Structure 1
Amino acid sequence: MNTFQPAFSSWLNAPAHQQWLADEGLRLLAFAKASKLPEGFGNLDAHGELPVDAQAHTMNTARMTHSFALAHIQGVPGFAELVDHGINALNGPLRDAEFGGWFAAPDHRDGDTGKAAYLHAFVALAASSAVVAQRPGANALLSDAIAIIEQHFWSEEEGAMRESFNRDWSEEEPYRGANSNMHATEAFLALADVTQDSHWLNRALRIVERVIHGHAAANDFLVVEHFDQDWQPLPEYNHENPADGFRPYGTTPGHGFEWSRLLLHLEAARVQAGMLTPGWLATDAQQLFVHNGLHGWEVDGAPGIVYTLDWDNRPVVRQRLHWVHCEASAAASALLKRTGEAQYETWYRRFWAFSDSCLIDRIHGSWHHELDPQNRPSAQIWGGKPDLYHAWQAVLIPRLPLAPSMASALAQGSISVLM
């Protein structure tokens, strides 16, 4: 694998742009601190405040713990205590002490006693970053997360993650999801670095082979999201609930961009580890970017990337979500580093121009998480501003190498500009 120095003036090499990214990161971090609750981290509203009935959530707690660990590793003061708080919550009220694994909310007070691969992937990611940050309790959390993945979620036969179980693991959901496997791929890249065990990279490759090199490649590189237990596509899944925040109907361009970036991280990680690395990782990453940009960007005549498309590539849910644009700019930066091609510079600047003008909220802080089809703030799918993880990573990824994973790269001092 080669990485290329662009023959043109790239924002990735511009000190002012690097500083802008760093400053935006600090602004995002300062906003997110208010999400702390006694049992973890909760959902902030549009003004950066916790509602009176706010409760902790495992997804937010894991994502915040990971994000705050990345800040602490860089040497940003004031985040070690927040990492420790997240570790304690994940080791405490969010964990099922009887059957193992993690609930979606403390002591399953939301009525959900199930165990979801999506959440457990984020717990593993948070634990791995906290280990790199050398925080107390992180190693025990990581050991627990790995044990649960090994015992229940990873299917060696399928080369992928099972989706979810009931509380005591006796009943399995007859469904397979690309989304949970995508975040497992992200977590496995981090686990490979933290554990120094390359079998996580082999598992990540097997997921990518199935979901992207198999199913997505056969679908014009638009990601097939939903499958039955035998990995047969379910094209009509959630047709009656097309705007679901985690399992929407149709294809999701934002995930196409996210997968594109992850394929390049996997390629770089395998090369760095001296492992056999298929050439299709880079070509598939480029195809994912091209096709999701073609069908997702300005597809309804207005700037921005729509949330979902149907099977004829027509927009279904036209809202613009902030995480989609975070992943698009991050993927553009990764492809620019990998290829040095000017087209990715153009896309990178285009995506950031949109985010700067439409998504970044300089009045109330953080980013608008959702815009309507006319690019006005809305809250049909994602209300408030609970998500630090996507925007924070979007300002970090352009400043880091493709491998190792973020926490390890930061610990090695690989960031372009100190914050």
Structure 2
Amino acid sequence: MPQSAPGPEGSTPWLSSPEHRAWLTQEAERQLDFFARSIRPEGGFVSLDYDGAPMAHQLQELHSTTRLVHSYALAHLAGYQGAETLIDQGMAYLWNAHRDRAYSGYVWGVQGQQVADGRKLAYGHVFVLLAGASAKCAGHPDADRLIDDASHVLDTHFWEDGPSLFADEWNRDWTPFSTYRGMNANMHGAEALLAAYEATGREVYLTRAGRILDFFMRHVARDEGWRIPEHYTADWQIDRAYDGDPMFRPKGTTPGHSVEWSRLLLQYWDLVGRPKDGTLDIARCVVTRALEDAWDTERGGLVYTLNFNGTPDIADRYWWPVTEAIGVLASLLKIAPTEEDEQWYRRLWQFANDHFVDHVHGGWFPEIDAEGRPMATQFAGKPDVYHALQATMFPLAQGVSRYAKAFEDAPLWPVGQGQ
């Protein structure tokens, strides 16, 4: 299949270009069509291979279930037909399979109806809150009980009032697992808290999101040359010696997370009335540093991790850092556009279109080799729709916060159009 261009040539800003907006809408629909095959007849979801065929491995991880709920809730609000089937499937599986009736909370991995990995991770629990918030915006009848239950667990076991941050991990029975503290769970915690505030109006969610963002963006990032270290000790000091799983807890800093932090900071700033507090400058500093450090000038794309001085450590190129960079640049282009923002936005979309978008089957390839071709080293099949769907949908929204309301007010697929 020939590759369509992600936007027109010329000087027209892509966010206001009818051609680009039509391309984004079509690409979002292709992703949703592809991942709609994830339904597992017995409950939960299956992982999908490159061609959309179900994969044999049946372990269902908490972040995968929750991200599908969140993604199809946004799609439902935007008018995508059939999204409610996936929302219902995911909400039922969260409550009946992932929820731990014996010890409370939500287990990380489930196989069928059996617990396969009983760890209790903040990273997973904040995604439960995100799923509940998005499902509430989509009008799901079970959303409130999920929000309330996830909030109770986060309050009881993860939130630390002193530093105003989330602790990371426990055993299934809530006995200590480690003293590790991490940036990633808190970043997605801020994401979930902002969504929960938008869905419920409860100020506690907005306040906590602000405290998390303040620590990482106004203190850590500023002190670290606008980079954000991944790993911390129990008293929230940077753990520069930490070297964990090279995929999920790599050492050093991760530029894909830096751009994601910046988008969330702008979302928070918008929700609190855009005060004159230097937020836009901070976001720009973090984004500029990440792009300058991580862009592979010879091959294109963003390298996965950096050393603390900004030199590449893991030079592999994955899809999700590109999607997150697109997301923050779309926010910057809506707030205070510059020519450099426009150039980066186009450069990233062109690279994604050329190397990550699957123009035959739909969905995105998660990783590419040195020649820019799809490979399967760290990921089996296509992991999820969450990152790439947001990259296509968020630029189409009117503002930089309250995306659910924006899609409800101006659906991408009005009744009688689309699927």
Task: Please say whether Structure 1 and Structure 2 have the same fold, judged by a TM-score greater than 0.5.
Answer: yes
What's the counterpart of residue 58 of structure 1? 62
What's the counterpart of residue 337 of structure 1? 334
**Aligned ranges for residues 186-201 of structure 1 at < 5 Å?**
186-201=191-206
1:249 partnered with 2:254? no
Secondary structure in 1 matching 2:107: coil
Equivalent residues of 2:97, 2:114 under 8 A apart? no
What's the counterpart of residue 270 of structure 1? 272
TM-score w.r.t. structure 2 length?
A: 0.92
1:375 partnered with 2:369? no
What's the counterpart of residue 135 of structure 1? 140
The one of 260, 263, 267 aligned to 1:261: 263
Equivalent residues of 1:361, 1:368 under 8 A apart? yes
The one of 207, 210, 219 aligned to 1:205: 210
1:25 partnered with 2:23? no
Question: Residue deviations 1:225-256, cap 9 Å, x none?
Answer: 100110111112116x4x32x21111111111
Partner Cα separation in structure 2 for residue 415 and residue 400 of structure 1 = 9
1:14 partnered with 2:17? yes
1:391 partnered with 2:388? yes
1:318 partnered with 2:323? no
Task: Give the counterpart letter for 2:169 in structure 1.
Answer: S
1:92 partnered with 2:90? no
Aligned length in residues:
403
Partner Cα separation in structure 1 for residue 316 and residue 128 of structure 2 = 29
Secondary structure in 2 matching 1:194: helix
* Seq. identity, %: 35
TM-fit CA distance, 1:416: 7.2
Query: For residues 26 and 417 of structure 1, do their structure 2 counterparts lie closer, same or farther at Cα, with a shift above 3 Å needed?
Result: closer
The one of 284, 287, 303 aligned to 1:286: 284
Task: Give the counterpart letter for 2:381 in structure 1.
Answer: G
Equivalent residues of 2:229, 2:253 under 8 A apart? yes
Equivalent residues of 1:211, 1:224 under 8 A apart? no
Structure 2 residues not aligned, in runs of 5+: 1-10
TM-fit CA distance, 1:280: 2.8
TM-fit CA distance, 1:23: 0.4
Equivalent residues of 2:329, 2:341 under 8 A apart? yes
Structure 1 residues not aligned, in runs of 5+: 1-7
Partner Cα separation in structure 1 for residue 166 and residue 404 of structure 2 = 23
What's the counterpart of residue 68 of structure 1? 72
TM-fit CA distance, 1:166: 1.4
What's the counterpart of residue 359 of structure 1? 356
TM-fit CA distance, 1:278: 5.9
TM-fit CA distance, 1:309: 1.2
Query: For residues 416 and 362 of structure 1, do their structure 2 counterparts lie closer, same or farther at Cα, with a shift above 3 Å needed?
Result: closer
**Over aligned residue pairs, what C-alpha RMSD do you find?**
1.9
Task: Give the counterpart letter for 2:272 in structure 1.
Answer: R
What's the counterpart of residue 298 of structure 1? 296
What's the counterpart of residue 107 of structure 2? 103
Equivalent residues of 2:110, 2:116 under 8 A apart? no
Secondary structure in 2 matching 1:385: coil
TM-fit CA distance, 1:185: 0.5
What's the counterpart of residue 344 of structure 2? 347
Partner Cα separation in structure 2 for residue 217 and residue 92 of structure 1 = 43
The one of 180, 185, 198 aligned to 1:180: 185
TM-fit CA distance, 1:52: 2.4
Partner Cα separation in structure 2 for residue 210 and residue 25 of structure 1 = 34
Partner Cα separation in structure 2 for residue 387 and residue 176 of structure 1 = 26
1:83 partnered with 2:87? yes
Partner Cα separation in structure 1 for residue 376 and residue 92 of structure 2 = 31
Partner Cα separation in structure 1 for residue 316 and residue 24 of structure 2 = 25
TM-fit CA distance, 1:263: 0.8
Partner Cα separation in structure 2 for residue 278 and residue 190 of structure 1 = 23
What's the counterpart of residue 4 of structure 2? none
What's the counterpart of residue 7 of structure 2? none
Equivalent residues of 2:252, 2:306 under 8 A apart? yes
Partner Cα separation in structure 2 for residue 210 and residue 260 of structure 1 = 13
Task: Give the counterpart letter for 1:254 in structure 2.
Answer: G
TM-fit CA distance, 1:345: 0.8
